[in-house]
Chain A
């Protein structure tokens, strides 16, 4: 596909379970970003990758969150021992590089923790 692809579109899970969210960026885009948007809140930056490297993980909300990217392409965001406050839309964006390039967003994963 031409755009950023995220899966699953929706995920409902019980508190305490682990979840894995996937992002497939636009082909050739080296920079990849994860954001989340909680109900009624603005978009919050979580982490970015330049290639397979994530130089700064300080935006991740807690140590239950981790992310990786392999082959300079697909990225996964993993949340361990989910809590209700993790409920949000998780959005992935990619751009040609990290500079002043437009970021293109996927449709997001709507995560609901029961």
Chain B
């Protein structure tokens, strides 16, 4: 089983739509979780950390379910500029980041 698994997509949605991405991780001892965003041929950029109680940053909401080892990201009112690949990330024991392969989102006018 891969350490971090995501649906690769692509998700093609119209502007204004709500879209949700899911991710599962294999190591139950993992403590830190993140969503990163990667634009084509660019470096990954931190979108948000994911906390046990769930957290929100504007149009973005992240949730963590430790019992199911499941992480989600909800994007409301999608914008064209949200088009990117969204990477589910778990922090490893060395502090390194363990990345999923990413879910590609394309927001259309």
Residue total for B at the interface (Cβ-Cβ under 8 A): 21
Of the candidates B42, B43, B91, the one whose C-beta lies within 8 Å of that of A100 is B91
Instruction: Say yes or no: is A91 at the interface (Cβ < 8 Å to chain B).
Output: yes
Q: Is the CB of A43 within 8 A of B32?
A: no
Report A-chain residues with C-beta under 8 Å of the C-beta of B12: none
A3–B91 alpha-carbon span in the complex (Å) = 21
Residues of B3-57 contacting chain A, CB below 8 A? 31-32, 34, 42-46, 49
- The stretch that binds B, out of A14-22, A67-75, A102-110, is A102-110
Q: Is the CB of B95 within 8 A of A98?
A: yes
A31–B97 alpha-carbon span in the complex (Å) = 12
Asked, given contacts A102-B46, A105-B44, A106-B43, whether A43 binds B94 with beta carbons under 8 Å apart, the answer is: no
Of the candidates A43, A59, A95, the one whose C-beta lies within 8 Å of that of B95 is A95
Instruction: Say yes or no: is A65 at the interface (Cβ < 8 Å to chain B).
Output: no
Asked, given contacts A48-B96, A98-B94, whether A108 binds B31 with beta carbons under 8 Å apart, the answer is: no
Nearest to B31 among chain A residues (CB) is A100
A95–B95 alpha-carbon span in the complex (Å) = 10
Q: Is the CB of A107 within 8 A of B43?
A: yes
Instruction: Say yes or no: is B98 at the interface (Cβ < 8 Å to chain A).
Output: yes
Report B-chain residues with C-beta under 8 Å of the C-beta of A31: 95
Asked, given contacts A48-B96, A56-B94, A95-B95, whether A41 binds B101 with beta carbons under 8 Å apart, the answer is: yes
Report A-chain residues with C-beta under 8 Å of the C-beta of B86: none
Report A-chain residues with C-beta under 8 Å of the C-beta of B45: 105
Report B-chain residues with C-beta under 8 Å of the C-beta of A33: 95-97
A98–B43 alpha-carbon span in the complex (Å) = 20
Report A-chain residues with C-beta under 8 Å of the C-beta of B102: 42
Instruction: Say yes or no: is A99 at the interface (Cβ < 8 Å to chain B).
Output: yes
Report A-chain residues with C-beta under 8 Å of the C-beta of B42: 107
A102–B96 alpha-carbon span in the complex (Å) = 11
B residues apposed to A, CB below 8 Å: 31-32, 34, 42-46, 49, 87, 91-92, 94-102
